[in-house]
């Protein structure tokens, strides 16, 4: 009995999502010989390959950050945690006059103080002293103002890619008028109908392929109000925490009840405070876990408390091997073998957790608009994949499983 149990357990490992993610062929169990030994070897090989892939994705994330900083030395620098941020600027939350005076004496200058009334926040932008590295300035200011909440203006990156050969249009799924949805991303192109777009970065609003794809997917499942906050524009340091915070404030003030964010970045105290304020107003935030693989650091804003974290599956309902992770996981949705529109209105193949996120947000908004408890509605729809019940690969299950985009 022990031998049979061990074999069953190892076969279960081979059929688990991790092995499926690695793209491994099906395993034929030998009819003779050392069955247990061969199955054990195959299981170890599967896990080794998946582990190597995860480590390579994590290394590629670091290489990408390094390339980004080297190519944009005038606008982007690393913070004290090695994360990219707007160069030469720091943010201080709720700074009082004494703190501002101390900062000025130390060579920092005030660029502006932003009262984010909708979120009950005040953010002061400081210019770091000339010739001082951004990370060094962050450390120095932290020592000078130990009671203050100080942050670099960290950048966030879009969690998917729109590309490939234009594909035939797929039938849109059923949709209904739901609660107003806000979207934080790049601006959609003119072929994607949204209620309103507003810019929160230099050159914004400026149509982007990613923003167009996310908005087009959102529109396939949601016929209600959609507002878009463009936090990228043409700014090389776009997608920063302050831009996202200002975008959130506008969306909430305009009446959005659900906000979808297909961006990922590091933990940032300014954005964390903004997300908490949004949630206190009863707004639900839905965010992607990113595409840096399971060995990467937890993705934010998906990892903030109360945010609905979304991962992605392909057309065969297999978890994407590049899917990142958050400190919690709520749902999975299609993020590959689906189609959306790029900035020029062409239908394109999509892949990434970015594109699963608006599908979940649309379902959630439709539930709220129909007067239902959104959690009960999504749990009732979710298809249980992987381990029975809530798990680390698919969360509470697959939502919008038949959705194919446009």
Identify the active-site residue in 46, 79, 151, 185.
185
pLDDT of residue 177: 67
CB 142 within 8 A of CB 106: no
Identify the active-site residue in 46, 153, 208, 210.
210
Interatomic CA distance for residues 198 and 187, integer angstroms? 8
**Residues in a beta bridge with 313:** 319, 334
200: closest CA among 229, 227, 228?
Answer: 229
Q: Give how far the C-alpha of residue 266 lies from the chain's centroid of Cα atoms, to the nearest Å.
A: 11
97 catalytic? Reply is: no
Neighbours of 35 (CB within 10 A): 14
> Measured in Å, how far apart are the chain's first and last C-alpha atoms?
52
pLDDT of residue 49: 57
CB 3 within 8 A of CB 39: no
Residues in the chain: 406
Containing 263, the helix (H) or strand (E) segment is: strand 263-264
pLDDT of residue 223: 86
Mean pLDDT by 10 residues, the chain (406 residues): 35 34 32 39 48 82 91 96 97 96 97 96 97 97 96 91 38 58 97 96 97 96 95 97 98 98 98 98 98 94 98 96 96 96 95 97 96 97 94 96 82
**Residues in a beta bridge with 259:** 182, 285
Interatomic CA distance for residues 401 and 378, integer angstroms? 12
96 catalytic? Reply is: no
Residue 121's φ and ψ, nearest 5 degrees, are -125, 155
pLDDT of residue 59: 87
pLDDT of residue 58: 83
Query: What pTM does this model have?
Result: 0.83
Interatomic CA distance for residues 251 and 184, integer angstroms? 9
173 three-state secondary structure: coil
208 catalytic? Reply is: no
91: closest CA among 127, 140, 121, 59?
Answer: 127
Interatomic CA distance for residues 209 and 181, integer angstroms? 20
């Amino acid at each position: 009995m022990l031998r049979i149990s061990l074999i069953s357990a190892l076969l279960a490992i081979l059929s688990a999502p991790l092995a499926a993610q690695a793209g491994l062929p099906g395993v034929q169990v030998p009819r003779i010989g050392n069955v247990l030994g061969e199955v054990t070897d195959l299981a170890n090989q599967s896990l080794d390959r998946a582990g190597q892939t995860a480590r390579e994705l994590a290394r590629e994330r670091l290489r990408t950050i390094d390339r980004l900083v080297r190519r944009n030395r005038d606008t982007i620098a690393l913070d004290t945690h090695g994360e990219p941020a707007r160069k030469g600027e720091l943010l201080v939350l709720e700074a009082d006059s004494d703190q501002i005076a101390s900062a000025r004496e130390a060579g920092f200058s005030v660029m502006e103080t932003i009262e984010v009334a909708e979120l009950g926040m005040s953010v002061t932008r400081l210019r770091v002293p000339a010739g001082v590295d951004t990370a060094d300035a962050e450390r120095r200011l932290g020592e000078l103002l130990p009671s203050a909440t100080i942050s670099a203006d960290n950048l966030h990156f879009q969690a998917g890619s729109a590309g490939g050969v234009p594909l035939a249009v797929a039938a849109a799924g059923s949709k209904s008028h739901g609660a107003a949805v806000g979207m934080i991303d790049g601006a959609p192109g003119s072929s994607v109908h949204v209620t309103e777009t507003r810019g929160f970065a230099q050159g914004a609003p400026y149509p982007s392929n990613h923003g167009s794809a996310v908005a087009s997917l959102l529109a396939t499942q949601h016929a209600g109000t959609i507002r878009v906050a463009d936090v990228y524009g043409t700014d090389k340091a776009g997608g920063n925490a302050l831009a996202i915070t200002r975008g959130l404030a506008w969306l909430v003030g305009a009446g959005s009840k659900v906000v979808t964010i297909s961006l990922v970045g590091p933990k940032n105290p300014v954005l964390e405070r903004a997300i908490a304020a949004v949630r206190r107003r009863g707004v639900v935030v839905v965010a992607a876990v990113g595409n840096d693989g399971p060995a990467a650091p937890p993705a934010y804003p998906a990892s903030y408390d109360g945010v609905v974290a979304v991962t992605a599956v392909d057309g065969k309902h297999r978890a994407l091997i590049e899917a990142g992770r958050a400190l919690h996981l709520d749902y999975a949705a299609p993020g590959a073998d689906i189609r959306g529109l790029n900035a020029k209105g062409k239908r394109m193949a999509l892949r990434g957790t970015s594109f699963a996120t608006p599908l979940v947000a649309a379902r959630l908004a439709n539930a709220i608009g129909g007067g239902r408890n959104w959690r009960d509605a999504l749990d009732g729809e979710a298809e249980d994949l992987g381990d029975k019940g809530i798990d680390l690969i698919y969360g509470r299950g697959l939502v919008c499983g038949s959705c194919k985009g446009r």
